[in-house]
């Protein structure tokens, strides 16, 4: 029986090609097979070995669990055929990336696996908006969360009780989150920063309040991340960039 290959779960980062780690880029250049997420950009795939087989395993939130089972099988099957397999995930593999299920499948099959971290979108969004998620005397705790639930689970997930909230896969779900926070007593003027297509050429940044977020957002054309909390209040002399000015035109009050 041929020796089993090794699988690397690699974080692609938030989107921009030059935000992947050096180790991640090196592995892409060496890989025999790359199974990549739907949100991985074409520019990122340019870093792959030109002889590598590229397998799209696009999967967005809310999909049925059978889709993940298919991905798990693809990983195992390819590791039984090729020495170096990369599973390329948007952001960081260990943050909302279904890594637990993929690790279990590979370990159960006796396949060696290594995880290569990536920049999670929350940190890239904080950098893009120049808004720290923590602030002395204002915010000492941060929670990353998503309202998405598995198909077999109904209802909303609990909103974490922290100073700064970062909601992944926000969009319409963030509107409901804002209303729930208001119902729980959060100040209507609490700052909110919404980032669409973080770190990409079509990145858009929108600044508003929880009260205005609860009234709605314009249509989004890419992945959305929402950050809420007093730490996101703009500094007195903080400049506004072009991405923010454009996004304001798209806001629906």
Tell me the C-alpha distance between 32 and 54, whole Å. Answer: 9
The one-character DSSP state at 241 is P
Q: Does 187 participate in catalysis according to the annotation?
A: no
From the list 6, 18, 51, 59, the catalytic residue is: 59
Q: Considering Cα of 92, then 95, then 100, then 105, what sign does the dihedral take?
A: negative
Q: Does 59 participate in catalysis according to the annotation?
A: yes
Instruction: List all residues 6 or more positions away from 107 whose beta carbon is below 8 Å from its beta carbon.
Output: 113
Backbone angles phi, psi at 209, to 5 degrees: -120, 165
Instruction: List all residues 6 or more positions away from 226 whose beta carbon is below 8 Å from its beta carbon.
Output: 166, 167, 170, 174, 177, 192, 193, 194, 195, 213
The one-character DSSP state at 190 is -
Q: 227, 122 in Cβ contact below 8 A?
A: yes
Query: Which residues have a catalytic role annotated?
Result: 37, 59
């Amino acid at each position: 029986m041929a020796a089993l290959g090794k699988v690397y779960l690699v974080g692609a980062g938030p989107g921009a090609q030059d935000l992947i780690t050096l180790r991640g880029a090196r592995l892409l250049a060496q890989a025999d097979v790359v199974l990549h997420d739907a949100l991985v950009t074409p520019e990122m795939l340019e870093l792959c070995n030109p002889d590598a087989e590229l397998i799209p395993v696009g999967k967005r939130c809310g999909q049925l669990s059978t889709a993940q089972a298919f991905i798990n099988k693809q990983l195992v099957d390819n590791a039984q055929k090729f020495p170096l397999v990369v599973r390329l995930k948007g952001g960081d593999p260990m943050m909302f990336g279904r890594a637990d299920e993929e690790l279990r499948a590979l370990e159960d099959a006796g396949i060696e696996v290594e995880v290569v971290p990536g920049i999670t979108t929350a940190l890239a969004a904080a950098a893009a908006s120049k808004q720290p998620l923590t602030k002395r005397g204002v915010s000492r705790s941060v929670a990353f969360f998503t309202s998405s639930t598995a198909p077999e689970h109904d209802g909303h997930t609990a909103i974490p009780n922290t100073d700064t909230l970062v909601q992944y896969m926000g969009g319409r779900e963030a509107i409901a989150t804002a209303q729930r926070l208001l119902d729980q007593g959060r100040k209507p003027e609490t700052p909110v920063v919404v980032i669409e297509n973080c770190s990409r050429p079509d990145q858009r940044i929108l600044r508003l309040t929880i009260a205005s977020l609860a009234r709605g957002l314009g249509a989004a054309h890419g992945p959305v991340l929402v950050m809420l909390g007093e730490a996101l209040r703009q500094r007195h002399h903080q400049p506004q960039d072009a991405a923010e000015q454009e996004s304001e035109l798209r806001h629906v009050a």
